Structure formats: C-alpha cells, structure tokens
Amino acid sequence: MKITDAEIIAMMQEERSQEKGLRVLMDTYQSRLYWHIRRMIVDHDLAQDVLQDTFIKVYQNFHQFKQESKLYTWLYRIATNEALQQLNKLKRMNRTDEDPEYHLVNMVADNISAEADEIQVLLQKAIQTLPEKQKLVFMMRYYDDLPYEEISNIVDMSVGTLKTNYHYAKQKIETYIKENYQE
C-alpha cells in the first residue's frame, strides 16, 4: 500500500509517529534523492554522506516545512543545497590546477559499472562539463522529469530561464557526445 505525502507529513508532525514517518519518508524518496545527488557529485561515498545529511536536516527542520510546496520539492531543495555545498568544499580542497569539471569528468570513468553503454558514459561525462545551475536544471528535467514550475521552486529561477538553460544544456551535451563518440 502506497503512503501519500499527506500521510508522511502527518506522521512527521506528530512526535509519537515521527520516527515511523521518517522511515516512510526515506523509503519513499531515498532512491530519487540519492541519484539526484550522485549525478551531481559522482562519488558514491560523498553522495551517501550528502543523502544522510539531507535526511538529518529534513527531520531537524521539518517544523519549518510550511506545505506551500510539495514535499518532494522541499526534499529536492535540501538535497540540492547539500550537494552544492559538498561540491564547493571539493573545489576548495582541490589544490591542483585541475579544472573542477574536468576532475568530475575523470571521476565518471572511475565510477561507472562495467555494463554501461559508451553513449551513456559520454552522456554522464557531458553533464559534468556543464555549469552548475545548467547541470541542475538538466538533471531534474531529464532524469526526474520534474515540471519547470517545480524546478523553479527548487533553484529559484524563472520558468523561461529554466527552459533556455535546458535547451543550451541539451545542445552542449549532444555536441560533446558527437565529438567523443567512437563508432
């Protein structure tokens, strides 16, 4: 039986059922949030830490959730902020002259499974070459199929800007794949 967002919210708001509510919330959203974070950060251990911190922030700040947006929008927003913070940390810690995007592209090769198609690998590498916000918009639209209005709430950008960003991101990715694909 599928539990609705309203039921999760009700459980999280009640002190007695908060633990159960948190478990249900994690069961429902952990996979989507993990992959959202993982595609941004690439490294599994870091993505795991970020997801863990996301859930901790969720239960600690659940009283601040005003239900003006959908639950998953709020969760995505927290996860995105946590992931961006982690990326900024990595950039600060990276003492080499290596370009951060280039570093992430290299990480993709180290993290892909053996069964992955070449085109899929190129797609992931191409995503890592995008500017941060463009990357976010593209991933939420392409992989999570979120409506532009919801993405607008998560990244604080207008729907028009989001559409433009998505269009440019798609063009860049396709160009990257064409240039690097070996037949």
Partner 1 sequence: MKHLDIEQLERKNIYKTPEHFFEKIQENVMKDFSENQNQQKPQIGRKTNGNWWYAASFVLLAGAVWVFSSLPSEETNNIVRNNDIQEAINPPTQIQNTPKPETENYIALASDLTIAAEAHQKEKQPATKIKEIPDQRAEITFTGAQQIEQILDVLTAEEIASLAQNTEQDIYLDLYN
Nearest Cα to Cα of residue 181 among 104, 130, 107, 125: 125
Give kind and range of the element (H or E) at residue 62: none
Cα separations in angstroms, 127 against 24, 39, 150: 31, 9, 21
52 interacts with partner 1 by CB under 8 A: yes
Residues in 3-22 at the binding interface with partner 1, rule: CB under 8 A: 19, 22
90 interacts with partner 1 by CB under 8 A: no
Least Å distance, CB 134 to partner 1, is: 14
Question: Among 13, 35, 65, 132, which residue sits at the site for partner 1 (rule: CB under 8 A)?
Answer: 35
Region of 65 (left: φ > 0; alpha: ψ -120 to 50; beta: rest) is beta
Residue 88 makes CB contacts below 8 A (sequence gap 6+) with none
51 interacts with partner 1 by CB under 8 A: yes
Rounded CA separation 163/140 (Å): 12
Site string for partner 1, 117-156 (x = CB under 8 A): x-xxx-xx-----------------xx-------------
Q: Which residues bind partner 1 (CB under 8 A)?
A: 19, 22-23, 26, 30-31, 34-35, 38-39, 42, 44, 48, 51-52, 55-56, 59-60, 111-113, 116-117, 119-121, 123-124, 142-143, 170, 173-174, 177-178, 181, 183
